[in-house]
Amino acid sequence: MNNCLKIRKLKIENSQGFGLIEIVIVCGIVVMTFLVFTRAEVAALRLFRAGQENLESSLLAGEALEAVRSVRDESWTANIAWRTQTPLASPSLRYYPVVISGKWSLATSSPGLINGIYDRFVVFEKVSRDGSDRIVSSGGTDDPGTRRVTAHVQWGTKTTRVISYMTNFQASLGGTTETKTVSYEGAALESDFSFPSGNGSGDLTQSFTAPATAIKVSRIDLPLRRDVTTAPSDVYVELRTNALGGVLGTSNQIMGATIATSSVALPWVEFRFQNFVSLNANRIYTIRLRARPSATDNASGGSGLLYWRYGSSNPYAGGVASSSVGHFSDPTYGGVLLSNYDFGFWVYSSP
Amino acid sequence: MLETVIYIGILSVFTVVIVAILMSIVHTYNRVRVQREVVSNGRLAIEAMMQQIGPSSAIYAPTSVFGNNVGQLSIVSQVEAQPEETVNRVDFWLDNGLVWMRKEGSATTSITSPSVRVNQLRFDQISQGLGREAVIITLQITSFADATFTASSTLHATAALRGTY
């Protein structure tokens, strides 16, 4: 009986602390398991963050290629072909897609980071073809009507690259041509008239005489420069029978912020009419520069300054310039006749 | 008695660690969910607009609002024109934090979900040449359903109107 009690007591003493070890082990296993979950969480967060960056960067790369297609559609010779020719190497320099005067352009200097993160540029490369017109990576002869375009979007250490082959397909299609039909090109002054601000000062106009045959106007170009400090409101052009007359056509809207600030190489800003505007022969018509919000309304929300270049001593015989048209929300106010001045303009027509 | 105290101590520490980890998992899940909502809504909205703009032939200027953070775009397309109509008109606009689309003859539908808020839908018109129109889309989208966890994304895309050639 005593022996039995001794054995039982010994077993109990030997098993003391066993439960504690089990609990510690189980706790360790569970904590380790949850730590693995935590690592998975961090990975998931990184993955979704990367997913967002990939979406943003791939859209930017796609937009860069669309910008190249746009300038390609405008003119292969002027905008694409020379970028890989002597003395420029293939691959070409980096070109940065930027919007200038409401059109895509390819600049050689970076406009800065997009969204404060992404650096975006495109590179052109020559494309060679073999005797069967197949594209080959080496050998073959250069196809001057095809270029390999790579859009790069870089952020941190990451890069998204999208490649496309672009061809001068329009060379074989022909297409509609535009001719400069009426113009006044001698405009060199810009200091006296500014437009548009939100103080209700009104619109600027320039009239012109249509040529001896009826024409269909497709676009009007104006020599505009914006003030350096504040981007002006967006602008567009109306083609009217006179400054206050019926609107024959309204152009596309040009982003004020994209108009150049340079007064040295002043660009002509292109305003396009979606539908051709038919003008009768020898009749006088008026170009009215307008802003959105309107420059005719006081405190309209319009901002910034824009300069429309002009010439003095009444240099254009076919029309007159006016300022302050429709000022202070008065649609019947024909403005101040600038009898000594004329604003520059190009009127393009299409057959 | 001593063992009991140790057990309780260990269990307490264990419980605190587990709760902290569980809270972290829930926190991460919510952040991932919010980010996923923003990304998927942004992608779908941009794709829906680009799919409609691509085959369209013209911008309908009178009802389009360009250069504004609360923009509107109206386009004219020959695709999916209603019977007895030669063209189909499609509108996109921002209202009350949602991007809406209306096709002629169809009901107005939202192309973003109420779980996100679109702060900016800006359209800028590009005229590259005769009949060469394009639209730059800027979409700024943030999470909306949960104020604790926020995510935001600004998307830029350009769609050319190729319905004329």
Q: What is the pLDDT of residues A126-135, one digit of tens each?
A: 888 998 889 9
A214 with A256, same domain: the answer is yes
The predicted pLDDT at position B146 comes to 66
Cα–Cα distances in Å, from A115 out to A109, B22, B42, B153?
A: 17, 35, 15, 9
Which of A172, A205, A239 is the endpoint of a domain? A172
Which of A172, A205, A231 is the endpoint of a domain? A172
Lowest mean pLDDT among A12-16, A167-171, A176-180, A330-334: A12-16
Cross-chain Cβ contact B11/A23 below 8 Å: yes
The predicted pLDDT at position A21 comes to 80
A322 with A202, same domain: the answer is yes
- What is the per-residue pLDDT across A205-262, written as a single tens digit (0 to 9) for each? 999 999 999 999 999 999 998 888 888 888 999 999 999 999 999 998 888 888 888 7
The predicted pLDDT at position A89 comes to 64
Q: Does A19 touch chain B (CB under 8 A)?
A: yes
A193 with A303, same domain: the answer is yes
Nearest-CA distance A264 → chain B (Å): 23
Give the residue from A258, A222, A251 showing the smallest Cα distance to A237. A251
The predicted pLDDT at position A40 comes to 83
On whether residue A109 sits in a domain, the answer given is yes
A220 with A311, same domain: the answer is yes
The predicted pLDDT at position A98 comes to 94
On whether residue A23 sits in a domain, the answer given is no
Q: Report the pLDDT averaged over residues A130-142.
A: 88
- What is the per-residue pLDDT across B64-116, written as a single tens digit (0 to 9) for each? 999 899 999 999 987 777 777 778 889 999 999 999 999 988 899 999 999 89
A142 with A196, same domain: the answer is no
Nearest-CA distance B49 → chain A (Å): 13
Q: Report the pLDDT averaged over residues A151-160.
A: 95
Which domain CATH number covers A274?
Answer: 2.60.120
Q: What is the mean pLDDT of chain A?
A: 86
The predicted pLDDT at position A77 comes to 87
Nearest-CA distance A137 → chain B (Å): 30
A236 with A338, same domain: the answer is yes
Count chain A–chain B contacts defined by CB atoms under 8 A.
Answer: 141
pLDDT band at B163 (very low <50, low <70, confident <90, very high): confident
Nearest-CA distance B16 → chain A (Å): 11
On whether residue A45 sits in a domain, the answer given is no
Residue A55 region, left (φ>0) first, then alpha (ψ -120 to 50), else beta? Answer: alpha
A207 with A296, same domain: the answer is yes
A287 with A323, same domain: the answer is yes
Q: Residue B12: how many CB atoms within 10 A of its CB? A: 10
Residue A11 has pLDDT above 60, yes or no: no
On whether residue A63 sits in a domain, the answer given is yes
On whether residue A30 sits in a domain, the answer given is no
A334 with A191, same domain: the answer is yes
The predicted pLDDT at position A83 comes to 83
The secondary structure of chain A in percent helix, strand, coil, rounded to multiples of 5, reads 25, 40, 35
Cross-chain Cβ contact A114/B153 below 8 Å: no
Q: Which residues contact A42 (CB under 8 A, 6 or more apart)?
A: B28
Residue A277 has pLDDT above 80, yes or no: yes
Torsion of CA B55, B61, B63, B69, to 10 degrees: 90
Residue A318 · residue A345 · CB < 8 Å: no
Q: Do the strands B56-59 and B72-77 form a parallel or antiparallel pair, or are they unpaired?
A: antiparallel
Which of A121, A144, A172 is the endpoint of a domain? A172
Side-chain-side CA neighbours of residue A298 (13 Å): 3
Phi, psi of A118 (to 5 degrees): -95, 135
Task: Choose, out of A29, A70, A176, the residue to mutate when testing the contact with B (most B CBs < 10 Å).
Answer: A70
On whether residue A50 sits in a domain, the answer given is no
Task: Determine the Cα–Cα distance for residues B86 and B131; give it in Å rounded to an integer.
Answer: 19
A142 with A284, same domain: the answer is no
Report the residue from B67, B127, B160 with minimal CB separation from A69.
B160
DSSP state of A246: -
Q: What is the pTM of this model?
A: 0.78
- AA letter at A167: T
A332 with A272, same domain: the answer is yes
Print the domain residue range for A257: 179-349
3-state secondary structure of A42: helix
Cα separation of the two ends of chain A: 125
- AA letter at B13: V
Asked if the interface predicted TM-score (ipTM) of this complex is over 0.90, the answer is no
Residue A178 has pLDDT above 60, yes or no: yes
The predicted pLDDT at position B24 comes to 85
Q: Do the strands B88-95 and B132-143 form a parallel or antiparallel pair, or are they unpaired?
A: unpaired
On whether residue A206 sits in a domain, the answer given is yes
Task: Choose, out of A13, A21, A30, A34, the residue to mutate when testing the contact with B (most B CBs < 10 Å).
Answer: A34
A222 with A322, same domain: the answer is yes
On whether residue A25 sits in a domain, the answer given is no
Q: Identify the H or E element spanning B112.
A: none
Please give the tally of structural domains in chain A: 2
The predicted pLDDT at position B145 comes to 65
The predicted pLDDT at position A261 comes to 84
The predicted pLDDT at position A61 comes to 97
Cross-chain Cβ contact A178/B130 below 8 Å: yes
Q: Which residues contact A23 (CB under 8 A, 6 or more apart)?
A: B7, B10, B11
Peptide bond into A351 cis (omega under 30): no
- What is the per-residue pLDDT across A75-97, written as a single tens digit (0 to 9) for each? 888 888 888 765 456 677 889 99
